Amino acid sequence: MNPQEKTENRFQMRVPPATEYTAAVHCPICTHTVQGTVVAQRRSLRVKPGQKCSRCSASLDPGYVLRYDRAA
């Protein structure tokens, strides 16, 4: 066995699957907080691409996740 292959397999990390949650998202166009779907992967929360604001129909892709309620 080649030592290089051995070290590549040894340090390979598994990434947990992304999960989707409902959270409060800030719309940058109308400056309101609306409900949206966020994708959680490891410690980062991002707005799921392709969503529209329920008030102004703008894209929520550049929006910020303001409130994410999760039970412990």
As for how many domains the chain has, the answer is: 1
34-70 residue pLDDT tens = 999 999 988 889 999 999 999 999 999 999 999 888 7
In a domain, residue 9? The reply is: no
Q: DSSP string covering 12-32, please?
A: PPPPPPPEEEEEEEE-TTT--
Comparing 47 with 1, which gets the higher pLDDT? 47
User: Which H/E stretch holds residue 4?
Assistant: helix 3-10
In a domain, residue 14? The reply is: no
pTM of the full predicted structure?
Answer: 0.71
In a domain, residue 39? The reply is: yes
16-39 residue pLDDT tens = 888 999 999 999 999 999 999 999
In a domain, residue 41? The reply is: yes
Domain that holds residue 50: 19-67
User: 35 near 26, Cβ under 8 Å?
Assistant: no
In a domain, residue 53? The reply is: yes
In a domain, residue 11? The reply is: no
In a domain, residue 13? The reply is: no
